[in-house]
Amino acid sequence: MEPPIIRMEGVSKRFPPDNQAFSDVNLEIEKGEFVFLTGPSGSGKSTLLRLMFCAQRPSSGNIWIEGVDLSTLTNSQVPYLRRKIGVIFQDFKLLPNHTVFDNVVLSLEVIGLKREQADRRVKQVLAGVGLGEKTRRYPPQLSGGEQQRVAIARAVVNRPPIILADEPTGNLDRERTDEVMVLMEELNARGATIIFATHNDRLYSNTHRRVIKLSKGKLEF
């Protein structure tokens, strides 16, 4: 059997001086799983995703991604890890002085596609999130929901094997939310492993997906 694509053992995160986000988190996520991560505001969902992306380091414990112990990665190796992971941040982090198209194409450049292939792929993924008509706009000219969809397009355009989605539908209405869920299901069906953090129980209450919950500093199953 293949090892889990993500594994955490005894992971704790403390913010000095005295804020313990969570402690002793043990978690295994299998390749191809679609897992919902829930829990109240401030319970540590975003922090847990940031640890998987190596944007922060745990205070104690170990994390393995595809069998690689993240504590052994040097700063120069971190970009190689990140190439495997598409992240949709809660606060989007779009580049305001770049067009929608450029925000998305920038995350493709590292994998060295030819210009036409890259253009085609970016247009396809932007059309897929309903932004085919707005590729030449700048993020400040878009609504919050539209910006969120640019962030989704940017995260998935590389077809990464792992997608970390932090409340990716937080600014979307019901119809757009459902479209994003369909997109996530499609990506998962094509093999992506997805960890989807959300407060919105409507998104997982009718699925057969695994739901894990951070509560009172611990991970509940």
Stretch that binds ligand ATP, among 13-21, 71-79, 97-105, 133-141 (CB under 6 A): 13-21
**Nearer of residues 47 and 171 to ligand ATP, judged by Cβ:** 47
Least distance (Å) between residue 44 CB and Mg ion: 8
Sheet containing 210-215: give its strands across. Answer: 85-88, 162-166, 193-197, 34-38, 210-215, 218-220
User: In 10 A of CB 82, how many CB atoms?
Assistant: 16
**Nearer of residues 22 and 101 to ligand ATP, judged by Cβ:** 22
Least distance (Å) between residue 49 CB and Mg ion: 8
Binding of residue 46 to ligand ATP (CB under 6 A): yes
What does 205 interact with, of Mg ion, ligand ATP, none (CB < 5 to 8 A by kind)? none
Stretch that binds ligand ATP, among 37-45, 113-121, 132-140, 175-183 (CB under 6 A): 37-45
CB 203 within 8 A of CB 211: no
- In eight-state DSSP terms, residue 185 is H
Residue 187 tokens read as 């990506």
What does 19 interact with, of Mg ion, ligand ATP, none (CB < 5 to 8 A by kind)? ligand ATP
For ligand ATP, the binding residue among 1, 41, 205, 216 (CB under 6 A) is: 41
Specify the residue for token string 């695994």.
210
d(CA 121, CA 5): 26
**Nearer of residues 44 and 86 to Mg ion, judged by Cβ:** 44
d(CA 146, CA 139): 8
